[in-house]
Amino acid sequence: MNILTTKNPRLSVTLSISVILSGCSLQAIEPTSPDSSYACQTATFAGQWTEGDGPYGCYFQLRDPATRKLLARTTYQLTVYASAKKTARVFDVESVTDAQGRSLFVKMPFPITPDKIRFVQTIGKGNNGRSGVLIRPTDGAGVPFNPYRISGCGQTYEGVTDETGQTVLVKCETIEKLHVEFYSRDQ
């Protein structure tokens, strides 16, 4: 088992990686598929909140990565980046999905594509937060639908990464160490 510890002024994260992951995902879902949390839905509906400014806009529907069911009335964080490198945030919001699992409508001056966003469920409360992403060393792509366990902030959460390899965002009241384990589907 390899252990990687990262220190951040706001939160410390420890990753325990018990296996080396390679190969293709058996359950791949294209981020542009209607069954994806990352599919940009361009139609607006009555009563929908809108944030941002620009000619390009859409909302997203948050889905449970394991079951693909819509997550109604669930806290989420939606981040839009200027480029696929995800180094410069241009929009960041934490909110709650509606009864159909929809986010608010986001408007940007550039097209909103799956490689420029992070849209994840949040758990816990507080101003300090972290989420993980599992990356394949062979090509740098996210590893979708891989089991993981996060412990810290007085709780333990088990889930599977989403279609881009992201975990949930864990929020804490204080700066704490998180322990993240990614493991094979066979364990």
Given a cut of 80, whether residue 163 has pLDDT beyond it is yes
Segment 1-28, tens digit of pLDDT: 333 333 444 333 334 333 333 333 334 4
Q: What is the mean pLDDT of residues 173-186?
A: 86
Do the strands 177-182 and 12-17 form a parallel or antiparallel pair, or are they unpaired?
parallel
CA 34-39-44 angle, 5° bins: 95
Q: What b/e string do you get for 117-148 counting C-beta neighbours within 10 Å, with b at 16 or more? A: bbbbbbbbeeebbbbbebebeeeeebbbbbbb
Look at residue 158 and tell me whether its pLDDT is greater than 80.
Answer: yes
pLDDT of residue 8: 40
Q: Check: pTM over 0.85? Answer yes or no.
A: no
Q: 61 exposed, middle or buried (CB, 10 Å; 0-12, 13-18, 19+)? A: buried
Question: How confident is the model at residue 4, as a pLDDT?
Answer: 37
